[in-house]
Amino acid sequence: MAALLPRILIIEADDALAGVMSELLCRVGYDCRVVKAVGEAVARLCLEPVLAVIFDLDTVPLRQGDGAVTMMRTWLRARAVPPPFILLSVYDPLGSGNPVQRNLHFDLHPRIEWLRKPFRNEEFLAMIRTMTGRGGLVEGKVGDQQDRK
């Protein structure tokens, strides 16, 4: 039986971008789950542990009073050590007064990073390695076929 690969949750509504990120991460030894909405993400996070969360703030809308935002905030507060979050956006999601910062209370989360879009694959992978504490490639070379079940 193959060893379980470290899992990353991708919150991304754009199918093409989700596919590219997922494929890139799978090639370097991660198992990815893609969801299109915050509510789906919270449900998935409650079912299985993840090594990190990638959250595209440009394609997944967050609105004040949104029940999904409340669920995510509650989930984050309930975790003694929540997984790191990598926020993707063309804008600075951590800027002062940003509604994402206010709505999700990311200021209470110890491990948040922001990657400005567009980004190069190398930047993306470097951010993942830094946030997950996994330097270099995971077992094998890029392009190796692995059991992804």
91 has pLDDT over 70: yes
119 has pLDDT over 80: yes
Q: With beta carbons less than 8 A apart as the criterion, state whether 119 and 93 touch.
A: no
135: CB partners within 8 A, 6+ apart: 129
User: Average of pLDDT values for 92-103?
Assistant: 57
Two structure tokens written together for 68:
């999904």
51 has pLDDT over 60: yes
β-bridge pairing 52-56 and 85-89: parallel
Through-space distance between the first and last CA atoms of the chain, rounded to whole angstroms: 11
Selected residue with higher pLDDT from 40 and 76: 40
Band of residue 63 on the pLDDT scale cut at 50, 70, 90: low
Bridge partners (DSSP) of residue 33 are 9
87 has pLDDT over 80: yes
136 has pLDDT over 70: no
Q: With beta carbons less than 8 A apart as the criterion, state whether 42 and 68 touch.
A: yes
